[in-house]
Amino acid sequence: MQSDTKTSCQQRLSRIEGQVRGIARMVDEDRYCIDIVTQISAVRAALKRVEEEVLKDHVGHCVEHAIASGDKDEQRRKVAELMDVFRRVQA
Asked if 43 contacts 18 with a C-beta cutoff of 8 angstroms, the reply is no
Nearest CA among 59, 47, 57, 58 for reference residue 89 = 47
Per the CB < 8 A criterion, the answer to whether 57 and 10 are in contact is: no
pTM of the shown model? 0.81
pLDDT of residue 86: 85
The enclosing domain of 48 has a CATH number of 1.20.58.1000
Q: What is the number of structural domains in the chain? A: 1
In which residue ranges of the chain is pLDDT below 50? Answer: none
Average pLDDT, the chain: 94
**Domain extent for 77:** 3-90
Contact between 53 and 5 under an 8 Å Cβ cutoff? The reply is yes
